[in-house]
Structure 1
């Protein structure tokens, strides 16, 4: 499998993850926050988005540089830790019992959501509107908590679609040698 094809599959996972993330919003309104339905959507979304972020990063790796890699790494750490805390909530174990881990999850998640769209805007490969949507999510969160998942999902669908469809601006993955493999 070529790297370009792998990047497209990862981007497809980002789109599906975004759709699952959007499913959290109606679940929260219908069954309540931290309901089984909302947590299931969150868990599936986190796993798909963690894989999908690889495609989003690789599509702009050359243009994003070292700052982009650091932003990607922080974003991945945040997504992995969020997945762990969602899993603990599904098992009815309070993630706050984890102490410092929960604080680290919140910190890395918020920092990743700030740095990754900034790195993407600097790289000028992914769509600006989706990057701004990710940044807007940080502002919407404290006021409209149940709508964060909706904005986050839409952003991931937009980013994933741009990479999956090849509608990026000079993406690194598109410039790869077609014979390159993973």
Structure 2
């Protein structure tokens, strides 16, 4: 399997996962009582990360050193947020049953620090990667702007998953360009050698 085939596979996984994530988040607004959407989000967000990897792999040369650093920060933040999502989905109900006074809006230390670190790293990654896309990308400047808008959505009340709409649309946008072969990880002439 060539690098371009791997990247195209990552692209289709990113597109499907992002669409599933958007559908799950939208359904959670319709039926907020169900835990099914949290389970879907926890699983699908790790697959959305594959789309994020694709978005970087096809632009490594254009994004340069700042793009690499911003991608690393965003990756760390993304992994932390995925871990946080798994914790809230699967450990949250158990923690609430063991300690009914525990409230996710007023978590004790060190849980609150872990949540804040995840949130801060993720938002810094969105900011830096969004700037690197706006500054250097030849294929996807608009997704860079959507990453930055996602930060504002993260802080806009009510605190919910609305930022993921912008993040998923950005990943779909870039992955679609990869899937339709508008951009490749390496030139096709080099890939066949």
- TM-score scaled to structure 2, two decimals? 0.79
Task: Find the counterpart in structure 1 of residue 111 from structure 2.
Answer: 98
Tell me: CA distance 1:37–1:9, structure 2 relative to 1, closer, same or farther (3 Å): same
Does the 8 Å contact 2:48/2:168 carry over to 1?
A: no
Task: Find the counterpart in structure 1 of residue 163 from structure 2.
Answer: 148
Moved over 4 A (4+): 94-97
Tell me: CA distance 1:176–1:75, structure 2 relative to 1, closer, same or farther (3 Å): farther
2:180 to 165, 168, 177: 165
- Which residues of structure 1 form unaligned runs of 5+? none
Alignment of 1:1-182 (within 5 A): 1-32=1-32, 35-93=34-92, 96=107, 98-143=111-156, 145-168=160-183, 172-174=185-187, 177-179=190-192
Name the count of aligned residue pairs.
Answer: 177
Q: Deviations over 1:55-103 (max 9, x none)?
A: 1111000111111111111111111111111111111336855343322
Q: Deviations over 1:18-68 (max 9, x none)?
A: 1122123322212227x4133123213321122222211110001111111
Does the 8 Å contact 2:10/2:50 carry over to 1?
A: yes
Rg bigger for which structure? Answer: 2
Does the 8 Å contact 1:7/1:173 carry over to 2?
A: no
Task: Find the counterpart in structure 1 of residue 98 from structure 2.
Answer: none
Q: Deviations over 1:96-138 (max 9, x none)?
A: 5534332221111101111112112222233222222221122
Aligned Cα root-mean-square deviation (Å):
2.4
Does the 8 Å contact 1:62/1:172 carry over to 2?
A: no
